[in-house]
Amino acid sequence: MEGRAVAETLEAMEASLAALATFVGRGAGNVASTGPDPLQDEADACLDGAAEVGRMEARLAALKVHFAAGYAHAAAAMAAPAVSPQERTSQEMAVTAELACVLTVSERSAAALLAESATLTTGLPLTLSALRTGSISWQHARVMCDETSGLDPAAAAALEAHFLDPEAPSAARGCPAGQLVPGRFRAKARSWRERHHPVSIEARHRKGVQDRRLEYVPDRDGMAWLSAYLPADVAAGVWSRATETARALQGPSESRTLTQLRADVAAGWLLEGVAEGTPSPKAQVLVTVPVLSLLGTGTDPATLDGYGPIPASMARRLVADGAGSFLRVLTDPRSGAPLEIGRTSYRVPKAMRQWLRLRDGRCPFPGCNNHSLDNEADHLLAWSEGGGTGITNLGQPCRRHHRLKHSTPWRPVDATRDQPPGWISPSGRSYPSEQQDWEPPHWPDRPGRAGEDPEWEPPDWPDVLAGAAGLGETGPPLPVDPLPDWALSIAA
C-alpha cells in the first residue's frame, strides 16, 4: 500500500477502536441500558462489536501485507546482485527466516505470507483495497490469491473484478464476496475460474483423466483414508448412489449416522460387491447443459450438481448414452438461466424437488455447504399457517438448519422461482443466501451469425410456463421444454 492508503487504514482503525469502546460499554455484562430491553441492547452491542473486530482484523491483515511486501522489497534492494540461482535462493531463504522469527511462525507460513503479499500488492489491487476497508477477510484474500494463481494478468483482473467490482460488466450476483464464508467464496471463485480459464476445460480434463488413481493413506487409531481421483461425473454418481442407499437404510432401529452408513455402504460395494440389506437405488444427479453445448455447436462447460463446471463433451456423453442417473437441465442461450428439467422427471412433485436442487444448489442457510442431495423440501410458511406448496414457498435446508428453523426464531424468507430464501435471525438481522451465478453462454463465431443467417440468431424464447402445475401448487409452475426435439438433434 502507498503511504496515503496506510494512513487511511490507520484512521479507519482509530474509528473502529472508538466504536468498540462504545460497544464494550453497552455489552458483556454491562446492563445499565435505559432502553426498554437492556438484555437485547447488550446482545446487539456484542454482535456489533464482534462485527467491528472482524473488520479490524481485516485491516490489520492489510497492514501486515504492506509491511511484509515492504520488507521483502527493501531486503532485495540492499542485497548484492545474485550471481547464481543458488545465491538468489539463499537470499530468499534469509528473508523468509527473518520474517518467520519476527512473527514467531514457521518458515513455511512466512514464505506463504511473502508470496501472498507480493501477489496482492502487485496484481490484485481490488482485493487489497477490499481487505483494507474490512469488506473481506484475510481468508477471502488468500482464496483470491489461490484462484488467480497461474492465470495471466488479464484473466486474474477479470476474476477479481467479477467478485469485487459491482460495476463490472459481468459482476457476480447474490451476496457480495465478503458476505460468503471463505469456503463458499472459494467454490464460486473456482467455478468462475473454470469457465474462464485461458486453457479450455476440455484440454485440462483430458490431462486430468490420465491422472486418475486410487490412494490409500494410513491414519491414527487404527483408521485409514481411501480416496479415488476420478472424472467428476463418475465421482458424483458414486456419491449420489451411496447417499441414496444410506438413506434407505435409515430407520428407528438404525443407530448409525448418514455419514457412517455412507462409508459402510461404499465399503460393502468394494469388498463384497453388494450393499447391505437394501437394493442399491440409482444415482440422481442434475447436469445443467447450455443448449448450444448440448447440440455440439458451443463450447461452454456444463455444470454438475454439487461439483461445478464439467466439459461439454462429458455432458453430451451423459445425455447421448441415456444415463438414467443424470437428469438433464437445459439453459437459456441468451441468459444462461435454467429452462427445463428432463421430461423423465416432469411429474410435478418430483420436478419441484429437482427444481429446488437446481435453484439452491445446496442448503440455503448462509455459509452451509451441505449438498442438495442430502436435503429435503420444506415449506417456508407452514402449510398449517396458509402456506402453499409452490416453488416460491419452498426451501431445501439440511437437517441441521431444518431443525434450526423449527426449534428457534430463525426463519427463511423471500424465496422466488430462481432465488433461494434469505434468513432472518432472532436478533432481527437479515442474512442473504447465495444465488446461482448463471452467466450467458458464448455464441460460436460463424460467418453470417449476426443478421446474415437467421438460423444463428439467438432465439427469442420467452419464459413460457407450463399450464398444469398440479394439486396444491400456488407458486409459479415450471417452464416447458423449449426444444422438445432435442434428442433428435443430438442423434443427427
Spell out the SS3 assignment of the chain: CCHHHHHHHHHHHHHHHHHHHHHHHHCCCCCCCCCCCHHHHHHHHHHHHHHHHHHHHHHHHHHHHHHHHHHHHHHHHHCCCCCCHHHHHHHHHHHHHHHHHHHCCCHHHHHHHHHHHHHHHHHCHHHHHHHHHCCCCHHHHHHHHHHHCCCCHHHHHHHHHHHHCCCCCCCCCCCCHHHCCHHHHHHHHHHHHHHHCCCCHHHHHHHHHHCCEEEEEECCCCCEEEEEECCHHHHHHHHHHHHHHHHHHCCCCCCCCHHHHHHHHHHHHHHHCCCCCCCCCCCCEEEEEEHHHHHCCCCCCEEECCCEEECHHHHHHHHHCCCCCEEEEEECCCCCCEEEECHHHCCHHHHHHHHHHHHHCECCCCCCCCEHHHCCCEECCCHHHCCCCCHHHEECCCHHHHHHHHHCCCEEECCCCCCCCEEECCCCCEECCCCCCCCCCCCCCCCCCCCCCHHHCCCCCCCCECCCCCCCCCCCCCECCCCCCHHHHHHC
> What is the rounded CA–CA span in Å between residue 299 and residue 289?
11
Mean pLDDT, residues 241-264 taken together: 92
Out of 83-92, 99-108, 376-385, 428-437, least confident range: 376-385
Instruction: Find the mean pLDDT for residues 268-293.
Output: 70
Q: Is the pLDDT of residue 323 over 60?
A: no
Q: List the domain boundaries for the chain.
A: 3-196, 213-272, 285-491
What pLDDT, in 10s, does the model give residues 226-252?
999 999 888 988 888 898 899 889 999
Look at residue 293 in the predicted model and tell me its pLDDT. 76
- Nearest partner of 374 among 399, 404, 405, judged by Cα: 399
For residue 292, pLDDT beyond 80: no
Q: What is the mean pLDDT of residues 342-371?
A: 68
Most confident of 34-48, 68-82, 452-466: 68-82
Q: What residues pair up with 228 in beta bridges, in sequence order?
A: 214
* pLDDT, position 399: 85
Distance of CA 386 to the CA centre of its chain: 33
Residue 186 pLDDT exceeds 60:
yes
Q: What is the mean pLDDT of residues 152-165?
A: 93
For residues 315-320, average pLDDT: 75
416/226: higher pLDDT? 226
